[in-house]
Each structure stands twice: as C-alpha cells, then as structure tokens.
C-alpha cells in the first residue's frame, strides 16, 4: 500500500536503524559509560513529515516509547509488529490547544511521563508578501507559532516538575535569513527563534533543555517518496513579481527536490543522540549548507555592526 495522507509508515526497511555516535563535544555530555542511555518517552508532533518519521523510527529502534502525533493520521498505520507495544498514534492539529492537550494527556496516561518533546509540525506558503492574503498568513502563524506555543504551554509543567526533559524544535534556515518569496513563513520561524531561546533560559535551571534544529537540504526516506517541501503551498507568480527576487522562494523550494545533500536517516540518528545529551546546544545546524548559511549570516551581521558603529557613539549621553 502506498503511503498517503491517511497513513504513517514507520517501517525501517531492510535493516534496523543503527546508532552511530556523532562524536559530540565532551561539554555536551553525550551518551557514554558515565551517561548511559535510558529508554525515553517521546512526544512527536508532525510525525508524518520526513524528519518526524525518522525521529520516530530511530527512537523505536532503540527501544524507546513514542506518541506520534499528526493531523494527517486517521486510521491506517504500518509499523513492525515488534514496535507496536511502544508506539501510540494520535490525531492532532497543533492549531488546536485542546487537541495538543489531549495528546499530552494520552501520553501521560500510557507511560506516566514525557521525556522528549519534538515539534516538527510546519506549514508554509510560497509567494511575495504582497500577494499572500490574510488567511494564508494567519494559517502559517497559527501552525508554526501558536501551534508551538500550545505544545510548550501544555508540556512545560510536567517536564519542569520532573526536573528533566528535552525540547527538540525543528526550525528553518529562513529563521536565520530573511528569504524573498517566503516572507510570512520566514517571519514565523523568526518568532520560533525568540520563543524557544526564551524558553531555554526560563527552564534551564529546572533541568530542562531546548534545542533549535536547522536542517539543510535533505533526501526523502525509503518508505516515502514525497518531496521534503510537501508542507508548502506554491502560489503562481504574477507578472508584477516575475523576474524579481520574490521568485527566489519558489526556485529554492523546487530546488530542494533534486538537490538533497543531507541524509535524512543520519538526521534522525543525530537527533536521537541529541535528546540523550545532558548539555545539548541551543542551536544545531545539520548539513554543510546549513552551517555555511548560518556562518554567512552571522558574519554579515557582525560586519554590518562594525561598519556602522561610528554612529552609536553619537547616541550616548555625555
């Protein structure tokens, strides 16, 4: 049966997922003899996405328990029999606070705890800022920002009271670099940046950690040939913006299909390890293109500050 919108496939293929250490810096205190791996309970929102699926697979293959949540999961689930006892499927639209709460409650009822919260749910519209209507813009903010806010507010109390927990939030390079043709989507990811960084500071003293993940361009997995940009709606370009920088967003999204240098299976393995690090980073770029983009952005920001700092002194009072 081919995978469709009503199906989540977690079949691992010919082999189980393999845990290969990412050689984490010692300061992160990665899994080791002094920090042995413990089975964890994962609450994954956006579990039918390419990365969400890989996270679920990796966690299940390592003996963890997973609550896989997605608004596209309805009735049909394909999963190896040996994993069925450790996997629960929940229909959830993160735009609904009530549905998010029900997902959290069901996880607690099943396993009595939550160790890792993964936020992968995302929606985007490709088109110039002027040409996206209010409904399209609001829909992106409702999913990407308010959806994450619902996830955070309904899970923080439980993680905080336990004095332990991890948030793994899938961001985007558009959250670091404003992207023409993806203005509102980029705006949602900038909001995610501020929300998660603030959250990380607020809960760090209570044993919880949060990490923003920036995946580079990545391939599809074996179980699904759906493109990695399937959560984007691509609007037709009007004559007013034809040949302008606004076309870049559309070209970028379509370029992702044939150009995927980052292995999505490796992303799943790294994020599983990340959840077991005692001191994970606040930001994690995955893929050479992601690292290069972040470096260029930060270098440009520093250069711009240095170029214009002569004006700052005139603003100070004598």
The model's pLDDT over 135-186, given as tens digits with 9 standing for 90+, comes to: 999 999 999 999 999 999 999 999 999 999 999 999 998 888 888 989 999 9
35, part of any domain: yes
Helix axis angle, 147-162 relative to 183-203, nearest 10°? Answer: 10
The residue that leads in pLDDT, 32 or 113, is 113
User: If you ran DSSP here, which 8-state letter would residue 191 be given?
Assistant: H
Q: Does 318 score more than 60 pLDDT?
A: no
CATH of the domain at 160: 3.40.50.720
Q: Which residues of 120-132 are buried (b: 16+ CB within 10 A; e: fewer)?
A: bbbbbbbbbeebb
pLDDT category of residue 12 using cuts at 50, 70 and 90: low
pLDDT category of residue 231 using cuts at 50, 70 and 90: confident
Q: Does 11 score more than 80 pLDDT?
A: no
Q: What is the mean pLDDT of residues 2-6?
A: 41
pLDDT, position 315: 67
User: Cα 264 vs. chain centroid, distance in angstroms?
Assistant: 13
9, part of any domain: no
pLDDT, position 83: 83
pLDDT, position 281: 94
Measured distance CA(87)–CA(84) in Å, rounded: 5
* Residue range of the domain that includes 305: 25-312
318 Cβ neighbours under 8 A, 6+ residues apart = none
Q: What is the mean pLDDT of residues 50-55?
A: 89
Which pTM was predicted?
Answer: 0.86
286, part of any domain: yes
Q: Does 314 score more than 80 pLDDT?
A: no
pLDDT, position 104: 98
Lowest mean pLDDT among 16-20, 138-142, 187-191, 247-251: 16-20
5, part of any domain: no
Q: What is the mean pLDDT of residues 198-221?
A: 87
3, part of any domain: no
Measured distance CA(242)–CA(223) in Å, rounded: 37
Q: What is the mean pLDDT of residues 249-270?
A: 72
pLDDT category of residue 17 using cuts at 50, 70 and 90: very low
110, part of any domain: yes
pLDDT, position 227: 54
pLDDT, position 218: 61
pLDDT category of residue 232 using cuts at 50, 70 and 90: confident
Count of domains forming the chain = 1
20, part of any domain: no
pLDDT category of residue 246 using cuts at 50, 70 and 90: confident
What is the per-residue pLDDT across 61-70, written as a single tens digit (0 to 9) for each?
999 999 999 9
Q: Does 1 score more than 60 pLDDT?
A: no
The residue that leads in pLDDT, 260 or 105, is 105
12, part of any domain: no
pLDDT, position 64: 95
User: If you ran DSSP here, which 8-state letter would residue 146 be given?
Assistant: I
């Amino acid at each position: 049966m081919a995978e469709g919108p009503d199906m989540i496939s977690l079949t691992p293929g010919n082999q189980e997922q393999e845990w290969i250490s990412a050689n984490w810096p010692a300061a992160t205190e990665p899994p080791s003899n002094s920090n042995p791996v413990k089975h964890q309970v994962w609450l994954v929102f956006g579990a039918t996405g390419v990365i969400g699926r890989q996270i679920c697979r990796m966690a299940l293959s390592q003996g963890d328990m997973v609550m896989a949540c997605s608004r596209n999961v309805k009735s049909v689930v394909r999963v190896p029999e040996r994993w069925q006892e450790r996997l629960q499927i929940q229909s959830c639209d993160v735009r609904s606070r009530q549905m998010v709460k029900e997902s959290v409650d069901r996880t607690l009822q099943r396993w009595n705890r939550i160790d890792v919260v993964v936020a992968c749910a995302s929606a985007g519209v490709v088109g110039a800022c002027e040409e996206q209507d209010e409904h399209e813009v609001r829909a992106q903010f409702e999913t990407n920002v308010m959806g994450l806010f619902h996830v955070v507010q309904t899970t923080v109390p439980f993680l905080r009271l336990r004095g332990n927990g991890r948030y793994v939030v899938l961001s985007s390079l558009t959250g670091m670099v404003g992207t023409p043709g993806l203005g509102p989507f980029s705006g949602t990811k900038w909001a995610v940046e501020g929300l998660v960084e603030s959250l990380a500071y607020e809960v760090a003293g209570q044993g919880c950690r949060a990490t923003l993940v920036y995946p580079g361009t990545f391939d599809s997995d074996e179980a699904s040939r759906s493109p990695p940009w399937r959560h984007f709606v691509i609007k037709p370009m009007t004559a007013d913006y034809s040949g302008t920088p606004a076309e870049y967003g559309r070209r970028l999204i379509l370029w992702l299909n044939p150009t995927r240098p980052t292995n999505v299976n490796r992303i799943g393995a790294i994020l599983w390890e990340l959840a077991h690090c005692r001191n994970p980073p606040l930001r994690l770029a995955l893929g050479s293109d992601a690292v290069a983009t972040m470096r260029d952005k930060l270098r440009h920001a520093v250069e711009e500050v240095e170029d214009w700092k002569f004006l700052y002194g005139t603003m100070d009072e004598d």
